[in-house]
Structure 1
Amino acid sequence: MIGFAMEINATYNSLVAVGDSFTEGMSDLRPDGSYGGWADVLASRLAARAPGFRYANLAVRGKLIGQIVEEQVALAAEMKADVVTLVGGLNDTLRPKVDMGRVKGLLTEAVERLTPSCGQLVLMRSPGRNGPVLDRFRPRMEELFAHIDELAGRHGALVVDLYGAPVLADPRLWDVDRLHLTADGHRRVAEAVWQTLGLAPEQDWQAPLPDAARVGWVTRRAADARFAKEHLGPWIGRRLTGRSSGDGRPPKRPELLPYEARSEA
């Protein structure tokens, strides 16, 4: 983690989360069918420490960094929150073609606009699941993460290094779509951000999972076939046609309003 905050007794009264599906909380399904996610877990935990705590989540699945800058950054800046989290750019790196110079420039613009408007900006090196689909994009991802580190050093942002945590590469912490974390994965991310903000650790978010039982070849191939049909194919189709799963979808929590701690957190 870069720029670790040392204020163990720090109190944060507001949080705004900016980004894409990772921050929206995809695959962390609640019983009512809505998505939770690490940002909701973090907000709940912060709310338990600060009466009147307020939370907004502007993230929308599928958004590229240009859309995040255009649709979310100005709104987040106007809210003047104690903490703003910004996670974006990874969707761009997963497109068939990408101008990394443009992506890094837009991310720089977002950081420069958000930094003076909030108490603390938090950036992330996003987690990467082990597997061949993401392996081909790793050079782009690592170029993006190097830029994030540079921006954090220049602007005093904190960086949560999820990419460097081996446990978050474990396939068991990823949903069947192989693109989004499970509920346990989201809880670990919330704990990582919590600790980066200088709050006393409540668990070891990097603790490895127990040894996995061996899965037979037939079972693995059946899972691969299901993944290709239900998730990989539609995902590639959207990338090739310029469509997004978030087209026309509003943010999950567009206003900075009081937020109560949830028992699930």
Structure 2
Amino acid sequence: MRDGDHLRYVALGDSQTEGLGDGDDVNGLRGWADRLAEQLAAACPGLQYANLAVRGRVAAQVHAEQLGPALALRPDLATVVAGVNDLLRPRFDADEVGGHLEAMFAALTAQGARVATLTFPDLARITPLARPFGPRAAALNQRIRAAAGRHGVVVAETAHHPVVTDARLWSPDRLHAGPLGHERIAAAVAHALELPGSSDAWTHSLPPEPAVSRWRAVGAELRWVAGFLGPWAGRRLRGRSSGDHRTAKRPELLPVGTQVSLPEERTK
């Protein structure tokens, strides 16, 4: 990497990297990439940071829409996290998704950037209704590890640690990390990158919670289906995405802490 006064960090991805679940569209999203940028800035004064991620994007869209702008910014560090939206769709091809990720890894590392990514947890450990997606997540993680190994990409292995699927790390929709989850993801990537002050503390379990009765658990599942799964499935059936008509929240390199445009100013 360059010296601290010229370090450039660019984040590519979907809603997790955009920061959904950590803040809101009225007051602003933070998210794990923003948190990682803050940690980088503490170690490297003068850090410039761009976040090209847009919610709802599948890996092919991240590749087609974000790689070119990312390369134009000539990052010293890039994070590439995509694929969850793919494995949630009816048709999923792990090789195709892995191919898009590998193409981004290859292009960024060939330009001299250090690249980091992460693996995904088994969603069935978050909600039983997601059990069919477990093998898909495992297959995608296998492709991510193999592609990362071929291109010297750093992998934060979030898939291996039980705390990652603790409900307290997730937002009520169970699809996006909550503030504590985004904090842990940022810490995981920082640890994988061996940043000053990082450690494996992000893998530590939270204090035990009181047991929940079976009926309360069933009620929570039903409320989740009605409040989140139903609307999400409805958008899929109508061919709509939460990211329709949206653009990146931070498309240009700016110092960490610099204000960006309001959400309504970032719609097409």
User: Does the pair score TM above 0.5?
Assistant: yes
Unaligned runs of 5+ in 1: 1-6
Is the deviation greater in 212-221 or in 29-38? 29-38
Determine the structure 2 residue equivalent to 1:169. 165
1:117 aligns with 2:111: yes
- Tell me the CA shift for residue 101 of structure 1: 3.0
Determine the structure 2 residue equivalent to 1:137. 133
Mark the CA change 1:99 to 1:53 in structure 2 (over 3 Å): closer, same or farther. Answer: same
1:230 aligns with 2:224: no
**Contact persistence 1:84–1:118 (CA under 8 A):** no
Q: Matched residues in 1 for 2:145 and 2:251: separation?
A: 28
**Contact persistence 2:168–2:180 (CA under 8 A):** no
- Tell me the CA shift for residue 220 of structure 1: 2.2
**Contact persistence 2:43–2:196 (CA under 8 A):** no
SS at match of 2:202: coil
Q: More helix by proportion, 1 or 2?
A: 2
SS at match of 1:185: helix
1:72 aligns with 2:66: yes
Q: Matched residues in 1 for 2:198 and 2:93: separation?
A: 40
Match for 1:85 among 72, 76, 79? 79
Is the deviation greater in 100-109 or in 242-251? 100-109
Q: Deviations over 1:33-74 (max 9, x none)?
A: 321111111111111222221000001111011110111011
Q: Matched residues in 2 for 1:118 and 1:189: separation?
A: 24
One-letter amino acid of the counterpart of residue 126, structure 1: F
Match for 1:192 among 188, 198, 205? 188
Q: Matched residues in 2 for 1:118 and 1:22: separation?
A: 25
Q: Matched residues in 1 for 2:91 and 2:8: separation?
A: 37
Is the deviation greater in 50-59 or in 122-131? 122-131
Match for 1:47 among 41, 50, 61? 41
Q: Matched residues in 2 for 1:261 and 1:159: separation?
A: 28
**Contact persistence 1:77–1:118 (CA under 8 A):** no
One-letter amino acid of the counterpart of residue 132, structure 1: P
Unaligned runs of 5+ in 2: 260-268
**Contact persistence 2:51–2:251 (CA under 8 A):** yes
Q: Matched residues in 1 for 2:121 and 2:31: separation?
A: 14
Q: Matched residues in 2 for 1:261 and 1:187: separation?
A: 20
Is the deviation greater in 109-118 or in 65-74? 109-118
**Contact persistence 1:168–1:185 (CA under 8 A):** yes
- Tell me the CA shift for residue 171 of structure 1: 1.6
Which of 1 and 2 has higher RCO (CA within 8 Å, sep 6+)? 1
RMSD: 2.2
Q: Matched residues in 2 for 1:118 and 1:200: separation?
A: 22
Instruction: Give percent identity, aligned residues only.
Output: 42
Q: Deviations over 1:120-176 (max 9, x none)?
A: 011110234412233211111111111111111111110111111110011221111
1:217 aligns with 2:210: no
SS at match of 1:184: helix
Determine the structure 2 residue equivalent to 1:4. none
Query: Where in structure 1 do 4 or more consecutive aligned residues deviate above 6 Å?
Result: none
What is the TM-score normalised by the length of structure 2?
0.88
Determine the structure 2 residue equivalent to 1:150. 146
**Contact persistence 1:191–1:201 (CA under 8 A):** no
1:179 aligns with 2:175: yes
Determine the structure 2 residue equivalent to 1:3. none
**Contact persistence 2:53–2:249 (CA under 8 A):** yes
SS at match of 1:73: helix
